[in-house]
Structure 1
Amino acid sequence: MAVVHALSHAHRFVPATGRDSPPLLLLHGTGGDENDLLPLGAALAPGAALLSPRGGVLENGMPRFFRRLAEGVFDEDDVRLQANRLADFVEDAREAYGIAAPVAVGFSNGANIAAATLLLRPRALSGTVLLRAMSPLKAPPPARLDGTRVLMLSGAFDPIVPAADVGGLAATLKADGAVVDHQTLPAAHGLTQADVQIAKAWLSAL
């Protein structure tokens, strides 16, 4: 049964039913909400606690985690603001629900805010699964990621995410000390069963 506390983001929380998996922070794509990725989270880490917030920014009525100026052009001031707000939310939720630092699982806009949070507030997360991510910041400050594990799954035929951009994000994370597993799948922007299988295996090995 999902629980909701009065924190900064509307969200759903599903308590853990097992002890082996770290909690997951589920971050939806544009137009999603706090319910969208709960089935994915349950499939990726059965029994894990699931924390799923709704993005606090609206674009034509669709929730997002930060503003953008055009397709693929981000409002970087808002990226920084919203990444810090999300990190604060995670800290409050950890206290409210008694959970450890979560592994973020983000899709599209959710992957981008997860990457930004990792770069700006690395202690908020214990790892990240970035599904169809782009670089959220052109010149992020140096971060001390100290072996934080990151799985990046890109689509070879993704019309939204340029290969050079996501390659730059992977290089930035590696330079900051993250252990990055970046795989490019024969897929477009949408998720495939291969994404689920790879991410599940990666999470089970943490």
Structure 2
Amino acid sequence: MAVDDYVHVWEPATEPGAPTVLLLHGTGADEHDLLPLGRALAPGAALLSPRGRVDENGMNRWFRRLREGVFDVDDLIERTDHLAAWIEEAIEAYALSPERLVVSGFSNGANTGAALLLLHPGVVSGAALFAAGAPLQGREPDPVDLSGTKVFLGSGVADPITTIDQARLLGSQLEERGAQVTEREHPGGHQLAPDVLAQARSWFSESGF
């Protein structure tokens, strides 16, 4: 495992002592897609943005799916393990502090961020996830300890891809394991709503990463 195992963008912090935001893009995007999100969430933070290694008909993803909305959970687990190992390499290569590393993602990337929390507690200190659902579909996550982990979940009540039930289930799974979860819902669908982004930015600022 090496830091160049994933094509990625690294932008050092522009503010002294700023945290690092790990950005995980959605299906069909790449390592550049969420850089504006990272800058909006945490101005001055360092940004680490890798590209998913699954090719689905020319679209980048983080793990395979069997069809729309149905994940290949075994593949998700294996690839999340690989991503977690890469994050450890990136922490060493870029001299990062795990206590100040926050993952943020949209859709497929948000589901992967949720899987990181549930499968590899401690690899990041927090998460701001948008359009995320319970990633292990039908499997109960292990009873890991997420106490001290701060999580923001932004979800659309009318989302046809990540249903609000799945989003709320993720929130419950994280809270049951001790995470401090802030859930914000908007009336729209599979999108990052501007008002939810504004709430996430306030949450990030107040969380003290």
> How would you bin the TM-score normalised by the shorter chain?
over 0.9
> Which residue number corresponds to residue 134 of structure 2?
135
Does the 8 Å CA contact 2:25/2:31 hold for their aligned counterparts? yes
**Which segments of 5 or more consecutive residues in structure 1 lack a partner in the other structure?**
none
Instruction: Give deviations 1:88-136, integer Å, cap 9, x for gaps.
Output: 1111111111111210001000000000011011111110111000111
Q: Is 1:88 aligned to residue 89 of structure 2?
A: no
* Residue matched to 2:54: 57
Equivalent pair of 1:134/1:169 in contact (CA under 8 Å):
yes
Per the alignment, residue 157 of structure 1 pairs with 158
Aligned equivalent of 1:195:
196
Aligned counterpart, 2:115? 116
Deviation at 1:152, TM superposition (A): 0.4
Q: Provide the aligned C-alpha RMSD in A.
A: 1.2
Q: For the residues of structure 2 that align with 1:7 and 1:90, how far apart are their CA atoms?
A: 11
Q: Distance in 2 between matches of 1:132 and 1:25?
A: 17
Q: CA deviation at 1:23?
A: 0.5
Equivalent residue of 2:185, what SS? strand
The separation in 2 between residues aligned to 1:96 and 1:64, in whole angstroms, is 24
Q: How does 1:1-206 map to 2 (within 5 A)?
A: 6-101=3-98, 102-137=101-136, 138-206=139-207
Report the TM-score, using the length of structure 1 for normalisation.
Answer: 0.94
| Superposition deviation, residue 20 in structure 1 | 4.8
Q: Alpha-carbon deviation of 1:186? A: 2.0
Q: Which amino acid aligns with 2:129?
A: L
Q: Secondary structure at the match of 1:69?
A: strand
Distance 1:6 1:93 in 2: 6
Whole-angstrom distance in 1 between the partners of 2:198 and 2:11 = 22
Q: Is the 8 A contact 2:3 2:93 kept in 1?
A: no
**8 A Cα contact 1:12 1:53, kept in partner:** yes
Q: Which amino acid in structure 1 is aligned with residue 51 of structure 2? A: R
Distance 2:202 2:18 in 1: 12
- Any unmatched runs of 5+ in structure 2? none
- Secondary structure at the residue paired with 2:122? helix
The residue matched to 1:63 in structure 2 has which SS?
strand
Give the SS at the match of 1:205. helix
Distance 1:35 1:143 in 2: 32
Give the count of matched residue pairs: 202
Q: Which amino acid aligns with 2:79?
A: Q
Q: Conserved in 2, the CA contact under 8 Å of 1:7 and 1:92? A: no
Give the Cα–Cα distance (whole angstroms) in 1 for the partners of residues 171 and 193 of structure 2. 21
Cα drift, residue 6 of structure 1? 4.7
Residues 52-101 of structure 1: per-residue CA shift (max 9 Å, x gap):
00001111110000000011111111111111111111111111111112
